Amino acid sequence: VVSPKIAPSMLSSDFANLAAEAKRMVDLGADWLHMDIMKLSFVVIDLNDTEPFLVSYLLTSLLFHLQDGHFVPNLTIGAPVIESLRKHTSAYLDCHLMVTNPMDYVEQMGKAGASGFTFHVEVAKENWQELVSKIKSAGMRPGVALKPGTPVEEVYPLVEGETPVEMVLVMTVEPGFGGQKFMPNMMDKVRALRQKYPTLDIEVDGGLGPSTIEAAAAAGANCIVAGSSVFGAPESGKATLVISLLRTS
Ligand code: DX5
Ligand code: ZN
């Protein structure tokens, strides 16, 4: 049995000390570093049905920024940050792009030194073959992610295509923020994928920690993203414990 890959989500790290945080995670035993690349519009679309108040708040602030001339597409990490971080670490940078036009970011992410490029199936229904080929030619490993509301069948063609993705990321929270509650019913998707594709990399992202890892590993996930459970540990010793608990599950 190969032990799962543990990928701390740097979204929960101290951004002002990103290089040191990356080194700390690698020293604690992280296999990959998970980098969340987000665009505001993606998050707005995501919250549309559930939180009307939040949506109107976000739209208002978006308009404010547009009017103000200060609007920039990336809310969190973008290629410049990946490029800077790459100078400080040789770790596998597992990049999760929560953007509406992933194609626009392939070249810059490749040049910046990203290792994996995971896009969302919801925004790449038509052009995914071209997208996957471009990701590979840019020297990155292609992956596809799906939001909680998206049926798992939607990613099957991408795993079975001529130029297939090499990883499927099953979101176990609504994308947008760290620190949310794990959705156990998403394990049906993981089980379905594992049954169909015994050697595929299956990553879970959102709400993973010592109390939820077992469900994910039992369903067949072998790449585990963990943000707040690792970075929320009060001392490095505790974070090591979380990582080793995740690993042995
Ligand atoms: C959510 C991100 C996750 C997030 C996970 O949009 O994709 O990677 O950082 O954080 P936790 O582990 O705190 O749920
Ligand atoms: Zn993520």
Q: How many CB atoms lie within 10 A of CB 28?
A: 19
How far is residue 221's CA from residue 164's CA, in Å, rounded to a whole number?
19
Residue 73 scores a pLDDT above 60? no
Residue 60 scores a pLDDT above 70? no
The answer to whether residue 94 is catalytic is: no
- Which residue in 31, 36, 46, 94 is the catalytic one? 36
Give Rg (Cα) of the chain: 17
Cβ(71)–Cβ(65) below 8 Å: yes
The answer to whether residue 31 is catalytic is: no
pLDDT single digits (tens) 154-194: 999 999 989 999 999 999 998 888 899 999 999 999 999 99
Which residue among 228, 229, 230, 246 has the greatest number of ligand 1 atoms within 8 angstroms of its CB, and so is best to mutate? 228
**Does the domain formed by 5-39+75-248 have CATH 3.30.9.10?**
no
What tokens appear for 218 in the block? 């039992």
Ligand nearest to the CA of 12: 1
Report which ligand 1 atom has the smallest distance to the Cα of 175.
6
Domain boundaries, the chain: 5-39+75-248, 40-73
Supply φ then ψ for residue 170, to 5 degrees.
-95, 115
- Which residue in 31, 46, 94, 205 is the catalytic one? 205
Residue 248 scores a pLDDT above 80? no
Residue 1 scores a pLDDT above 60? no
CA of 113 to the centre of ligand 1 (A): 21
In this prediction, residue 195 carries a pLDDT of: 98
**Residues constituting the chain:** 249
In this prediction, residue 38 carries a pLDDT of: 83
CA of 94 to the centre of ligand 1 (A): 13
Helix, coil or strand: residue 67? helix
Q: What is the ipTM of this complex?
A: 0.98
Cβ(134)–Cβ(106) below 8 Å: yes
Whether 228 is in the pocket of ligand 1, judged by its Cβ within 6 Å, is: yes
How high does pLDDT run on average in the chain? 86
- Tell me what percent of the chain is helix, strand and coil, each rounded to the nearest 5: 50, 20, 35
pLDDT single digits (tens) 103-131: 999 999 999 999 999 999 999 988 999 99
Report which ligand 1 atom has the smallest distance to the Cα of 172.
14
Phi-psi region of 226 (alpha: psi -120 to 50; beta: other; left: phi over 0): beta
Q: Which residue has the higher pLDDT, 39 or 178?
A: 178
